[in-house]
């Protein structure tokens, strides 16, 4: 079973994604960037889904760290946000997919299926 790490500080979003995805994937939930970082130091998921607005840092900075690390750079990252992001922010983040909130769950599931190995 493929593993998806989900990072969002909104516990409702985490619950929704766990229910929606856990019948197909092993879903690991994180409500803080430091928790995801600690997880990535021990294990590597097949894909990461993260929010843009997070505690202490933003998803674009977190995504950039993941994509610039030789150990994690291969992991597809789907970033979503209710904020209207400038195209340059998305490009600089190096995320594989950007989805605006509120997102269509079916679209997210299709993007995950498309990017997961």
Q: Could you tell me the residue ranges of all domains in the chain?
A: 3-115
Strand partners, 6: 29, 49
Q: What are the CA-CA distances from residue 102 to residues 13, 35, 82, 99 (Å)?
A: 10, 25, 7, 9
Contact, 96 vs 66, CB < 8 A? Answer: no
Per-residue model confidence (pLDDT) at position 53:
87
Give phi and psi for 61, each to the nearest 5. -70, -40
Flag residues of the chain having pLDDT under 70.
85, 117
Of 3.40.50.2300, 3.30.413.10, 2.30.40.10, 1.10.645.10, the CATH number of 3-115 is: 3.40.50.2300
């Amino acid at each position: 079973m493929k593993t998806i790490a989900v990072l969002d500080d909104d516990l409702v979003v985490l619950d929704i994604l766990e229910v929606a995805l856990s019948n197909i994937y092993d879903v690991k939930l994180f409500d803080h960037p430091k928790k995801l970082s600690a997880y990535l130091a021990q294990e590597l998921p097949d894909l990461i889904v993260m929010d843009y607005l997070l505690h202490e840092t933003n998803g674009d900075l977190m995504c950039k760290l993941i994509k610039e690390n030789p150990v994690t750079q291969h992991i597809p990252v789907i970033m979503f946000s209710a904020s209207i992001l400038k195209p340059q922010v998305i490009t600089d983040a190096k995320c594989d997919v950007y989805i605006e909130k509120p997102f269509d769950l079916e679209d997210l599931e299709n993007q995950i299926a498309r990017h997961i190995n």
